[in-house]
A and B are shown apart, each in its own frame.
Chain A
Amino acid sequence: MVETESKALQAKEKAEVTTPAEQTKPGLVFSPAVDIFETDQNITLLADMPGVKAEDLTIDLREDVLTLSGEVDAPEGPDEVDVFREYRTGKYYRQFSLSEVIDQERIEAELKDGVLKLKLPKVEKAKPRKITVRSS
């Protein structure tokens, strides 16, 4: 199934953010566009992070805060001079707080063509127990 294809894509500048922690490396920080959806079993996150190599991407889940951060190397060669520039490059950073308990052992992450797909399996909820009250 493919989404309706009639509409044309609009040019958009990347959303620049200021991170809570101060950067040690100078440079711009952008917030990647994401899709997040959940089913009964999983929470899936898709994030557009063009220019990030798999080894430069860090995914961190601590308590219930998920942090995505990806470093981007400048793609230009040393001798290249700008003719014109419409977009800027820099690292990506975004945090989410998750309401569900995630099974940390079974998290799957895949980075393909600049899109991160992160599958966060939910921990099976404790089955409801019936508590019998003993009468003495």
Chain B
Amino acid sequence: MLLKKLSGWPGLDWESPFEELERMRRQMDMLADRLTRGIFREPFAGVFPLMNVTEDRDNYYVRAELPGIKADELDISVTGDSLSISGERKIVAENENAKYHRKEREAGKFSRIVSLPAQVNTEKVEASCVNGVLTVVLPKAEAARPKQITIKAS
């Protein structure tokens, strides 16, 4: 009886001596992950471009870093509560004699759709591209705005 109980203890289970180590390793991974990304736990969508979405009382603001792309090269459309952005980043090739030391910048097409928490007024959406940062201002639809409720004193 006693032996059977003891066998359930970690370290005494000789059937799988590495199971305990494996569990520890997983916990260490989780801990490391929490330490490095804990504060900025970003919902990494994995779709270019990466976006930051903020809101205030009246608007949603969608921002994306798109260096080297002009506003008129972007295709932005809004329907109800979703915003789609697509375009292409072009990098002009240099003359053939150029020898490269580094080539880290990438060219290519992109297309992304993002859902906003509420409906927006599609008529009044404005977009601007300044210093390679795209900002789209989307006014919230009337129904989505917070209402101040006044309490009548009786």
Contact = CB atoms under 8 A, between A and B. Distances in A.
Interface string B35-49: 000001011111111
A48 B89 CA distance: 12
A8 interface: yes
Q: Which 10 A-B pairs have the closest CB atoms?
A: A114-B132, A50-B132, A114-B67, A50-B65, A9-B108, A80-B54, A86-B50, A48-B67, A36-B101, A33-B104
A38 to B, nearest CB: 6
Given A11-B47, A40-B97, A82 B54 contact: yes
Interface in A74-118: 75-77, 79-88, 111-115
Given A7-B108, A48-B67, A39 B95 contact: yes
B78 to A, nearest CB: 16
Contacts of B135: 75
Interface in B99-120: 99-111, 116-117
Interface stretch (B11-19, B23-31, B55-63): B55-63
Interface string B78-95: 000000000011111111
Contacts of A115: 67-68, 132
Contact of A113 (B57, B69, B95, B103): B69
Nearest to A4: B107
A114 B131 contact: yes
A59 interface: no
B53 A84 contact: yes
Contact of A35 (B51, B69, B100): B100
B131 A50 contact: yes
Contacts of A79: 56-57
A48 B40 contact: no
